[in-house]
Each structure stands twice: as structure tokens, then as C-alpha cells.
Chains A and B, each alone.
Chain A
Amino acid sequence: MIRFDNVSKVFPGGNEGLRNVSFSVEPGEFVFLTGHSGAGKSTLLRLIALLERASRGQVLVDGRNLARVETRDIPAHRRALGMIFQEHHLLARRSAFDNVAVPLWVSGIGPSEIRKRVRAALDKVSLLHKEHAIASTLSSGEQQRVGIARAVVNRPMMLLADEPTGNLDPTLSREIIGLFEQFNRVGVTVVIATHDTEVLRLHPRRTIELREGSVVSGAGES
């Protein structure tokens, strides 16, 4: 499903985000991505979502070489996967409902279908009662859950989550990871970047560990 072949990412200015990274994730797998702060977890996820492009090496998603995806096809690529961001990235002045509805608006889905799907997604993250609340008035944990609802509302084949439990208490954390597992059970590939050791301990799964931009363990068969 995801395959990195000797991928390096050098940022303009010379910062090295990833160094010669190779690993693969099979379809339907559930993988944790861990490592110290600045190890390159976010960078790795952003390469998959084409928020960044690799400096060297190949990134393949669903058999497709991302280097060949043209700029105008990037939106469709992003919509095909669900991404949960470390910094929420919500429309601050819009309601929770609108925020979750955005990917569906872009896809040109009809209003009644949007309503049904958005409410279902908000229900999954236990936020249906905050449907009409403006995003900026929500707590950090609530905003994170709105972001999760937005990521799953388009029924993506793959979920990429960057520190999805960063602002959640242990109970909510478990619930959210449980939610990802639920999606995983119906075939969705899940990659979660986290340095929350408690989460890793409670949910033993394959864990890819990064250190200073390189994979040190859990790369899987290559």
C-alpha cells in the first residue's frame, strides 16, 4: 500500500527531514510510527499525502509513484486518503459540521448525503452534540476529534494520523485508537505517528521507529 525506497527529504535551507528511508506497509495493515521529536515522523506522513515531495528515492502509494503525480492531480490524491494533522488545521470560523463537510463539498457530493455522512462521522468521535459549535470555541481535544471526523468522512482507503492523541486524556486516547482499529477492521490501512509510549504499550502493533531521519527498526520486509 505504501512503499518507500531510499527516500530522502532535504528542506530548502539544508535541513534534513528524512535520510535514506525504506519501508513498506501492506494493504489493511495498522502501523505505528514513532521516534523522538524532530525524528521525521511528520515529514514522512506529509510525503505520503503529497504535502511535500521527496528529494531522492521513490514513494509509492497504492502502486503509484508519487513523483509522477502532477500538481493538478494532487487534490484528488489527498482526498483519497484521510489525514489527521498534528496542528488540527480546522477552519476556525466554521462550525464543526462545516469542517467535517469540507472534503465532501470538494468532491461534489449532494447535500442530503453530506448531512448523513457528516453526522455519522461526528457521532463516531462523540461530537454530534457539538455539530453547530464554531471550531475555534472547541477544546483542543475536541478540535482533534473534529479533524479525525473530517479524515474519515470521505471513507478513505488509508488513514494517516499525526499525533492524534496528543491532546487527549488516556480514556479518550484509547477510544480514538479504538476508532482507528475499527476502521482498520473493515480494511482501511492505518499509519499513526505518535511518541505516546502509553498508546504503544496498550496497542501492540508493528512500530516503525525513526531516529534523526532514518529508520532504526520495524521497516518490515522490503
Chain B
Amino acid sequence: MARGAASLTGARRGLRNPWLLAHLRALRDGWSQLVANVLPTGVSVAVMAIAIGLPATLFALLDNQRALFSEWGSQPTLSVFLAHGSPEGEALRIAGEWRKQEQIDAVEVIFASKALAQFSAATGFSQGSDDAPNPLPNVLIVTPDPLTWNHRGDGELLKFLRAEPLVDSVLVDFEWIERLRSFSALAERGVWILGVTLLLTIVLVIGNTVRLLVQEQLAEIEVLKLVGATDAFVRRPFLYSGAIHGLLAGILAAAMLEVVFAVLAGPVADLASAYVSEFRLDSPGSGYLADLIALSATIGWLGAWLGTLRTLHQFEPVTE
């Protein structure tokens, strides 16, 4: 009994679903088109893998950077300096009121007296006389709720804090993170544009590759149409060709991405620990890679569809 490729032609018993069989046949034909054109196939698969792998890798890196921001940004704090000489009891009262606010996560109170003691201990300067006025104010360290915190830092929270009569000044000391954040938003948009552009390029690359395959089989296509093959039937092997292209390119792109992450992981970890950060470069999960491969195969299919579009109609009789 014939096995392997021959079994797909319909000799195998049990495979009786004509629809399934037609697709298996088209799949096999699509595959053999690729095998018969190893070099051009290899080249366009490689081009496609790079064009898909590059934005995919950049996206995954951006995603990691987002994780980094949430490590930094999850505890943004505002230093609120109360007026000189305001009593410690008032500081506690204000802290208690602010803690009830929805837009505030936590309030830490640093009493002037304690700060001064720490300062003296650390520097060795003594205050000289106990009744000299304390030059340091009471300070409240406010942690805003990260969900409502306005990243531009000019939001309602600041207004609210300043509305308290005893507040002298508010210090927002993480503006550089905000700058970085907006820079990265820009970078993300750039990657999107790059990604879409490359995606269109891939569709054209695949379309062109498939068009060449079609040109090569013009005689066969004509025969098929002469005996009454539908466009769908004629097109199907080419679509499978394109999808296989995309599939292979997607797998290659996923592998490229994993390599990039593996290469970067070590240096990034070193860098992070130098800044006492827990940050680790995480390669994207298998879900991301599966999506990537599926997207790539879909694009291959789409490109092939475009590539077959024009040729198929040239065999139709024209009416004047």
C-alpha cells in the first residue's frame, strides 16, 4: 500500500471527506511549489523573518521597559513641606485626613525633631542649645494612587495638597522619569509605524514571490481553468504556499527574538543590579510567539492572495 505523499492523493482509506482532501491536496501542492523553488523561497522567508522579527523584538523590549517603569513608577512620592514651626499634632492631623483621600495611597510623617536628630547623628553637628528653633520643617511623604496620578504632575492632587494652609511647598522630584516615559511613548509610536510599514512590505514580498510561482505554472493554471476549475481551486495551493512561507518566517522570527533576549539578558541584569533594581529582562511568553507566528502565516496567506489576483482573470473570456 502506498504511504506518505501518495496517501494524500486519495488512496488512503478512511479519508473520505472531499473538502478535507481537497485542502490536503492543495497543501501538498503548495508545499511542493516551495520545495521546487528552495532558493527564492529561502530568501523571501529570510526577508520576511527579519521584517517581522524586528518590530516584534522591539515591541517585546518596549513591554519590558513598561515593567521597569512600573517598578520605578509604582511608588512615586511627593515631599510636602509644612510651614516652619507648625506643631507635630497638626502634621499628624493632616496626614490622617489625607490618608482618607482616594487619590492618595499612603502618607508618611517625618517630624522635624526626628529629622534633626538623625541629621545630627549623621553629621556630628550638635544643635548647640536645645531651645534654639529647629530649622527643619515637618515633612509629609505622600504616595499618590498610581491609577489616578496624572503623569504630567500638574494634576488635581497637587492643587489639593497646596490648598492646605499649613503646606509650605510641594516637591515633585521624579520629573526625569516622566520625561523618559514620554520619550518611550514616542519610541512606541515609532515602533508601531515601523511595524506597519514592514508588514506592508512583507505582503508585497510574499505577493511577488507567489506571483512568480504563478507565472511558472501558467500553463497548468490554464489547463485547470479549461476543464472547469474554480478560481478558489486554482488559488488554493498558492495560498497554502504563502501561508507556509509566513509560518516558516514566523518561526524564524520567533527564534531571532529569543536569541536577542538571551543575548541581552545577562548585561541587563548586571546593569539593573548596579542600580539596585529587581528588573530582569523577560522574554515574551509563548502566547506572544504563537501570535507572532499566526500573524506571519496570515500575512503570507494574504500576500499570496494578492499575488494570484491578477493572473487568474487573464484566462476569462472577455465580452466586448
Q: Which residues of A pack against B, CB within 8 Å?
A: 10, 12, 50-53, 55, 67, 71-72, 74-80, 83, 85, 89-93, 98, 102-103, 105-106, 108-112, 114-115, 150
Q: B18, A102: Cβ atoms under 8 Å? A: no
Contact partner, B223, options A90, A111, A112, Cβ 8 Å: A90
Q: Mark B19-61, 1 if CB is under 8 A from A, else 0.
A: 1011001000000000000000000000000000000000000
Question: Which residues of chain A have C-beta atoms less than 8 A from B1's C-beta?
Answer: none
Q: How far is the CA of A114 from the CA of B21 in the complex (A)?
A: 12
Q: Output the least CB separation between A124 and chain B (Å).
A: 17
Q: A53, B317: Cβ atoms under 8 Å? A: yes
Q: Mark B285-302, 1 if CB is under 8 A from A, else 0.
A: 000000000000000000
Q: How far is the CA of A92 from the CA of B222 in the complex (A)?
A: 12
Q: How far is the CA of A50 from the CA of B62 in the complex (A)?
A: 58
Contact partner, B230, options A53, A55, A75, A109, Cβ 8 Å: A75
Residue of B whose beta carbon sits closest to that of A71? B316
Q: How far is the CA of A5 from the CA of B228 in the complex (A)?
A: 25
In order of increasing CB-CB distance, the 7 nearest A-B pairs are A111-B10, A78-B228, A79-B228, A108-B18, A75-B230, A53-B317, A75-B228
Q: A76, B18: Cβ atoms under 8 Å? A: no
Q: Output the least CB separation between B188 and chain A (Å).
A: 45
The answer to the question of B229 belonging to the interface, with a C-beta cut-off of 8 Å to chain A, is yes
Residue of A whose beta carbon sits closest to that of B32? A93
Q: B16, A83: Cβ atoms under 8 Å? A: no
Q: Output the least CB separation between A112 and chain B (Å).
A: 7
Question: Which residues of chain A have C-beta atoms less than 8 A from B233's C-beta?
Answer: 105-106
Q: B228, A76: Cβ atoms under 8 Å? A: yes
Q: Output the least CB separation between B313 and chain A (Å).
A: 8
Q: B227, A79: Cβ atoms under 8 Å? A: yes
Question: Which residues of chain A have C-beta atoms less than 8 A from B316's C-beta?
Answer: 71, 74
Q: A102, B229: Cβ atoms under 8 Å? A: yes
The answer to the question of B319 belonging to the interface, with a C-beta cut-off of 8 Å to chain A, is yes
Q: Which residues of B pack against A, CB within 8 Å?
A: 9-13, 15-16, 18-19, 21-22, 25, 219-220, 222-231, 233, 316-320
Q: How far is the CA of A10 from the CA of B319 in the complex (A)?
A: 11
Most buried by A among B15, B222, B228: B228
Q: Output the least CB separation between A157 and chain B (Å).
A: 14
Q: Output the least CB separation between A194 and chain B (Å).
A: 20
Q: B16, A106: Cβ atoms under 8 Å? A: no
Q: How far is the CA of A98 from the CA of B226 in the complex (A)?
A: 15
Question: Which residues of chain A have C-beta atoms less than 8 A from B18's C-beta?
Answer: 108-111
Residue of B whose beta carbon sits closest to that of A82? B227
Q: How far is the CA of A76 from the CA of B22 in the complex (A)?
A: 17
Q: A110, B16: Cβ atoms under 8 Å? A: yes
Q: B227, A78: Cβ atoms under 8 Å? A: yes
Residue of B whose beta carbon sits closest to that of A108? B18
Q: A52-B317, A108-B18 are in contact. Are A114 and B227 (CB under 8 A)?
A: no
Q: B9, A106: Cβ atoms under 8 Å? A: no
Q: How far is the CA of A55 from the CA of B317 in the complex (A)?
A: 11
Q: Output the least CB separation between B82 and chain A (Å).
A: 81
Q: A105-B25, A108-B22, A111-B21 are in contact. Are A150 and B16 (CB under 8 A)?
A: no
Q: How far is the CA of A142 from the CA of B312 in the complex (A)?
A: 29
Q: A108-B22, A111-B10 are in contact. Are A102 and B227 (CB under 8 A)?
A: yes
Question: Which residues of chain A have C-beta atoms less than 8 A from B230's C-beta?
Answer: 75, 106
Beyond A77-B228, A91-B223, A150-B227, 5 extra complex contacts between A and B, CB < 8 Å: A67-B319, A75-B225, A103-B228, A110-B16, A111-B18
Question: Which residues of chain B have C-beta atoms less than 8 A from A92's C-beta?
Answer: 219-220
Q: How far is the CA of A144 from the CA of B252 in the complex (A)?
A: 47
Q: Output the least CB separation between B230 and chain A (Å).
A: 5
Q: Output the least CB separation between A1 and chain B (Å).
A: 18
Q: Output the least CB separation between B201 and chain A (Å).
A: 32
Q: Output the least CB separation between A120 and chain B (Å).
A: 16
Q: Output the least CB separation between B22 and chain A (Å).
A: 6
Question: Can you list 25 A-B contacts (CB < 8 A)?
Answer: A12-B318, A12-B320, A50-B317, A52-B317, A53-B317, A55-B320, A75-B225, A75-B229, A78-B227, A79-B227, A79-B228, A80-B228, A83-B226, A85-B226, A89-B222, A91-B223, A92-B219, A98-B9, A102-B223, A102-B227, A106-B227, A106-B229, A109-B18, A111-B10, A111-B11
